[in-house]
Amino acid sequence: MSVTASQFSFELFPPRTPAGWEKLPKLINDLAAVRPGFFSVTYGAGGSDQNGTYDTIMKVVEQTGIEAAPHLTCVGSTRANIATLLQQYRDAGVRRIVALRGDLPSTSMSNAAPGEFHFANELVAFIRDTHGDHFALEVAAYPEIHPQAVNPEADFQAFLTKMRAGAHGAVTQYFFNADAYFDFAARCQKAGIEQPIVPGIMPILNTAQLLRFSAACGADVPRWIRLRLEAMGDDRASVQDFGAEVVTRLCETLLKQGVPGVHFYTLNQAEPTLRLWRNLGLPVSG
């Protein structure tokens, strides 16, 4: 398997506490040392605001010179404020955006985001209409089906609509079953999608958190992984050792099949992602 560091990306979230902001420069430096292709920074997840996303993006760019891609969501946005943000990001030299619907408030009865953009495809089309090809656009993909999908086929068709609206590529929700990814990628290829579908990879750090996230986002934690993690109880070191083993094997399987890259959900911790990097023998600079 021949890969370069530039095929890999790292996702951060804007810190939620003053202590998190203090640690951010070191976190960025530690991750930047392996020279990933780009960093992306979430928006809205966990209540973060766009200033937090913007400030984190700027820190990445100023500290490392590595490309940084803000996430933008339909939820909580109007055409006017998306237009303002796009201009701000463009002025700051940003060339890549992750365009999403965003998570709906738990009280929502509909699958559509409230406001002016209801689904990610509308946001993609708006960015393309207003900025042409200036921004490379990434969207989200769900090999194990989006949790609010009406049915699997409708979900897949919605994904195709989003890609055809002008996305340059997609990053998947995390998964532990490589076959779900390969099946999804094969369906995309059959449907004529040529843009890269990059697997999103979640390190395993904490059993309760992983099971909670996975239930919310529709990621399947296979029974054998769940039972083994649960049997380790509060023994964090064993959970992380086992997690690193399982996720390393998953990445090896994906890389052997020639996936176009890997996007790591770092959870704002450098070491678990760098541990996977070392286990995989990935290059330190591309």
Catalytic residues, by residue number, are 11
Interior/surface letters 79-112, b for 16+ CB within 10 angstroms, e for the rest:
eeebeebbeebeeeebebbbbbbbbbeeeeeeee
Select from 2-10, 126-134, 141-149, 267-275 the region that touches ligand FAD (CB under 6 A): 141-149
Q: Is 96 in the site for ligand FAD (CB under 6 A)?
A: no
Select from 78-86, 116-124, 184-192, 271-279 the region that touches ligand FAD (CB under 6 A): 116-124
One residue of 66, 120, 193, 202 binding ligand FAD per CB under 6 A: 120
Contacts of 31 (CB under 8 A, 6+ apart): 10, 39, 266, 270, 273, 274
Nearest distance from C-beta of residue 121 to ligand FAD, angstroms: 5
Nearest distance from C-beta of residue 78 to ligand FAD, angstroms: 16
Contacts of 201 (CB under 8 A, 6+ apart): 174, 247, 250, 251, 262, 263, 264, 265, 276
Nearest distance from C-beta of residue 63 to ligand FAD, angstroms: 21
One residue of 6, 64, 81, 148 binding ligand FAD per CB under 6 A: 148
**Burial of residue 228, with CB atoms counted within 10 A of its CB: 0-12 exposed, 13-18 middle, 19 or more buried:** middle
Q: Is 100 in the site for ligand FAD (CB under 6 A)?
A: yes
**Smaller CB separation from ligand FAD, 11 or 27:** 11
Amino acid (1-letter code) at residue 10: F
**Smaller CB separation from ligand FAD, 90 or 118:** 118
Nearest distance from C-beta of residue 241 to ligand FAD, angstroms: 26
Select from 96-104, 183-191, 235-243, 252-260 the region that touches ligand FAD (CB under 6 A): 96-104
Q: Is 155 in the site for ligand FAD (CB under 6 A)?
A: yes
Q: Is 195 in the site for ligand FAD (CB under 6 A)?
A: no
Place of tokens 């994906």: 254
d(CA 243, CA 113): 34
Q: Is 70 in the site for ligand FAD (CB under 6 A)?
A: no
User: 3-class SS at 18?
Assistant: helix
Q: Is 199 in the site for ligand FAD (CB under 6 A)?
A: no
d(CA 277, CA 280): 5
d(CA 205, CA 87): 37
Q: Is 33 in the site for ligand FAD (CB under 6 A)?
A: no
Amino acid (1-letter code) at residue 1: M
Place of tokens 């340059």: 168
68 sits in which H/E element: strand 67-73
Nearest distance from C-beta of residue 147 to ligand FAD, angstroms: 7
What is the distance between the terminal CA atoms of the chain, rounded to a whole angstrom?
A: 15
One residue of 9, 42, 77, 268 binding ligand FAD per CB under 6 A: 42
By CB under 6 A, name the binding residues for ligand FAD: 42-45, 71, 73, 98, 100-103, 111, 119-121, 140, 146, 148-149, 154-155, 158, 161-162, 171, 173, 200
